[in-house]
Structure 1
Amino acid sequence: MAQIGLKAHPSVPEDYLLIDYELETNLDPKLTLASLCSEQSTAQWVRPGKQEDLRGKFGAKCVAYEVSGESNKPLYAWPWVAGNKFIRLKARIAHPLINFGPHIPNLLSAVAGEGAFYCPGVTCLRITNLHFPSSFLKLFEGPQFGLSGIREKLKVFDRPIFVGVVKPNIGLDSQDFSDTAYASFLGGLDIAKDDEMLANPPASSFEERIKKSALAARKAERITGKNKMYLANITDEIDEMMGLVQKATLLGADMVMVNAFFTGMSGLRHVRRHCKLPIMSHFTGMALYDRVLFFGMDGVVTTKLQRLLGADIIGLPGFGERMQTTDEQVLKNMEACLESMGNIKPSLPIPGGSDWAGTLPKLFEKIGHTDFGFIAGRGVFNHPDGPEGGAKSLNEAWEAISQKISLEKYAETHPALGKALKMFG
């Protein structure tokens, strides 16, 4: 097995799924990679007394690897790790599709399960990317609406989509919640949404909140002449979510949201198969997979899976210190929402975390295009002029950017933006 570098965009054989890994080993790299392939597929490939070798058809195969570093200490000094030579690798392993088919729990059990994280000689491992053949992609529905469908529903084509998380997250009764959402719609918000923690509390029951918030969105449409969308959180046990989908649809919600890391990715797919509304998948729980360097599952992987399983909108940890995610990683995750993926539509990425009108210019500069959702919480709902002023400040910030005027200069004649700069700057 000779070292072969990993191409960024490999040609994927139709019968295989390619998985990229970063790993560390205290053994010979070739031996470790052979063991990793074996543990993720056949493990034992011949039975006593039989003339057979199951590896040809069912065995995972390392198709490329490169050494990326060496140290006399392990990345993580687990009690069971010994030795004074630790080699870091990048590897690409081809998995036969016949082993798991179009079933994500089974796929992950193979590529991210016992065989990967308990493999002899592997002291640390991170799954960094997935490369799908077209034959595999065709077995999935993907987003029903996707980025272009969301834009079409809102009739917003030339700027980011403005999204607000109604604040306070929890504690408002259904009337206060809908009144708050309504004010933000009047100010120019496109989408007002439930927080990911807001479920069905007594003070703001699921049914009453949706009914009143949907009416608020329709009223705001009549007054502003612009389309508005209310997004309801339906996260629950999988069997309960189907009833919540039906209720949300009948009561007039425009979108639904699933916390896919906690319902399980199959929960998201189940909703996609039964829901006629756009679906947002929230990033809560993502840090459990991708926060620790060189360990777990990269955000690119989980983002691609959510898109594959039907998320029209994918919430992501965004820019800035609070979200503890590098700019490079945010951009990679966003690209996983938008890049070409065969028959699977692009999703709308929403990188979020403590944004407000004043962060929009730098965020737009980093992203370099308008195909994203700009989400704010306190930046809208804690504005001195209330949610209407907060939402208006986002639109005024975008007007300034479009006209290549500094926010400070534009704020001289646009009071909502001026008050935002004074309050949050």
Structure 2
Amino acid sequence: MKASDARAFFASPESLALDDYLLLDYVFECQDDPELAAAHLCSEQSTAQWKRVDVSEDYRPRFAAKVLDLNIEPVPTGFSVPMPEFGDQQVHRCRIRIAHPHANFGPRLPNLLSAVLGEGAFFAPGIPLIKLLDIAFPDAFLSAFQGPRFGIGGIREQLKVFDRPIFFGVIKPNIGLPPEPFAELAYEAWRGGLDIAKDDEMLADPDWSPLAERARLLGAARRRAEQETGVPKIYLANITDEVDRLLELHDTAVAAGAGAVMLNAWPTGLSAARMLRQHTKVPLVAHFPVIAAMSRLPFYGVHSRVLTKLQRLAGFDVIIMPGFGNRMMTPAEEVRACIHACVDPAFGQLKPSLPVPGGSDSAATLESVHAQVGSADFGFVPGRGVFSHPQGPAAGATSLHQAWQAISAGVPVAEAAEQQSELKAALATFG
């Protein structure tokens, strides 16, 4: 690309009708002219060849992605990932904001992903390393999406829980139980105060625990727990499968008593989630398999905040994400960025999704998770912390309420545990 051609891929924000564009923040590393690399990045993900040979035309004014800002930083230590095939030339790390016209693909998530995370971005000439850090949607684009059907408010209303986190529990062992003992564990946890008992993300419809039978027994156990406790409960059924089975599995689970359904969002795809959003009358919950494979490297792939925003756009009412602590290997600021993406008011008419930062949680971690989140608008999702409690699942669920009561009263959880056996056992076992 000639330097004169490259300038056509640069613009000032004031020169564009920004409601017609998505704003994309990338970081990339290159060795050649950073401005030329930036122009290639815009060209490859939008117009590529912008005219036919020997024809006087230029598609760039209408279709080209445009560089709005480019910050260039020399990197004395070379590429962030060893790339010996590129030699030892000077490496530049560039942060770039791009305006991409959304009319190029319309309100279609597979086409959006093909543009901003596809061949054009990850095979742009001269850019061996690149990561999409953030994406912003104008109201004109958001208006074509329904987003969450229930959102945080709808789920709180369904459960009649308005002043604390929503307590989930992953029934354990995760894939090792037939429906009968599985349902009994859920019942015990509901009886102790759990709001939502859920399938593990790896348990869907296997021979040893068929979804139809599991949902039938869990539905009956849920109704029994509701009658005994007087408060609503939810069984969250994992319906992840081949796309052509999703509606069938959804209908089976909900008819049997599942109050919400879970989908592994990225293995099945956002378009499948959007289809389910149109079909379902119960909350839709996202789990995070594959996300770490795309997001963990600092200068390659896609930031998990982008994936969270896209899940909200697709219509997930609840978004389970890698949470705080060493177990999940996710920086705290990244977890907070994903939580903010769930509730960010700059999302047009779309309702907020309930953020659920998870990973090896229990009553022993509730205090620190609440402090990191900064509000009570989150889901808390122990597994072992409820179902491996030494006094049983009911005590595990009770310990969550005891921890929250201490937090609400401004009392250290460890101090409150001295007077409450369930909480004391939880701290001793999981702390």
Q: Partner residue of 2:375?
A: 369
Distance 1:334 1:187 in 2: 28
Kindly provide the CA deviation profile for residues 75-112 of structure 1, in whole angstroms up to 9, marking residues without a partner as x: 12234423421111111111111210011111111111
Q: Partner residue of 1:392?
A: 398
Q: Partner residue of 1:30?
A: 35
Q: How does 1:395-406 map to 2 (within 5 A)?
A: 395-406=401-412
Q: In the alignment, is residue 380 of structure 1 matched against residue 386 of structure 2? A: yes
Distance 1:233 1:209 in 2: 11
Amino acid of the residue matched to residue 137 of structure 2?
Answer: F
Alignment match of 2:250 (pick from 234, 245, 254): 245
1:81–1:123 Cα contact (<8 Å) kept:
no
Distance 2:254 2:326 in 1: 37
**Cα 1:314/1:69, change in 2 over 3 Å:** farther
Distance 1:346 1:168 in 2: 31
The residue matched to 1:122 in structure 2 has which SS?
coil
- Give the length in aligned residue pairs: 419
Distance 1:70 1:221 in 2: 60
Alignment match of 2:334 (pick from 305, 323, 329): 329
The residue matched to 2:367 in structure 1 has which SS?
helix
Distance 1:323 1:230 in 2: 25
Q: In the alignment, is residue 223 of structure 1 matched against residue 239 of structure 2? A: no
Unaligned runs of 5+ in 1: none
Alignment match of 2:52 (pick from 47, 52, 76): 47
Q: Partner residue of 1:287?
A: 292
Q: Partner residue of 2:128?
A: 123
Q: How does 1:303-342 map to 2 (within 5 A)?
A: 303-340=308-345, 341-342=347-348
The residue matched to 1:411 in structure 2 has which SS?
helix
Distance 1:70 1:408 in 2: 47
Distance 1:413 1:18 in 2: 53
- Per-residue deviation at 1:12? 7.6
1:211–1:251 Cα contact (<8 Å) kept:
yes
Q: Partner residue of 2:138?
A: 133
Amino acid of the residue matched to residue 353 of structure 2?
Answer: S
**Cα 1:418/1:263, change in 2 over 3 Å:** same
Q: In the alignment, is residue 98 of structure 1 matched against residue 103 of structure 2? A: yes
Distance 2:53 2:369 in 1: 61
Q: In the alignment, is residue 349 of structure 1 matched against residue 350 of structure 2? A: no
Q: In the alignment, is residue 167 of structure 1 matched against residue 169 of structure 2? A: no
Q: Between the two proteins, what is the percent identity of the paired residues?
A: 49
2:205–2:211 Cα contact (<8 Å) kept:
yes
Larger mean Cα displacement after TM superposition, 414-423 or 371-380: 414-423
Larger mean Cα displacement after TM superposition, 396-405 or 65-74: 65-74
Q: In the alignment, is residue 186 of structure 1 matched against residue 191 of structure 2? A: yes
1:74–1:123 Cα contact (<8 Å) kept:
no
1:72–1:84 Cα contact (<8 Å) kept:
no
| Shift >3 Å, 4+ stretches | none
Alignment match of 2:71 (pick from 66, 69, 75): 66
Kindly provide the CA deviation profile for residues 103-145 of structure 1, in whole angstroms up to 9, marking residues without a partner as x: 1111111111111111111121000111101111011111110
Q: Partner residue of 1:278?
A: 283
Amino acid of the residue matched to residue 48 of structure 2?
Answer: A
- Per-residue deviation at 1:69? 4.3
Unaligned runs of 5+ in 2: 1-6
- Per-residue deviation at 1:297? 0.6
Distance 1:406 1:103 in 2: 48
Larger mean Cα displacement after TM superposition, 350-359 or 399-408: 399-408
Q: Partner residue of 2:203?
A: 198
The residue matched to 2:297 in structure 1 has which SS?
coil
**Cα 1:51/1:12, change in 2 over 3 Å:** closer
- Per-residue deviation at 1:353? 0.4
- Per-residue deviation at 1:418? 1.0
Alignment match of 1:422 (pick from 415, 423, 428): 428
- Per-residue deviation at 1:408? 2.5
Amino acid of the residue matched to residue 268 of structure 1?
Answer: A
2:74–2:90 Cα contact (<8 Å) kept:
no
Amino acid of the residue matched to residue 311 of structure 1?
Answer: F
Q: Partner residue of 1:413?
A: 419
Distance 1:79 1:343 in 2: 48
Distance 1:406 1:60 in 2: 53
The residue matched to 1:17 in structure 2 has which SS?
strand
Amino acid of the residue matched to residue 52 of structure 1?
Answer: E
Kindly provide the CA deviation profile for residues 267-309 of structure 1, in whole angstroms up to 9, marking residues without a partner as x: 2111111111100000111111101111101011000000000
Amino acid of the residue matched to residue 350 of structure 1?
Answer: V
Distance 2:17 2:296 in 1: 28
The residue matched to 1:412 in structure 2 has which SS?
helix
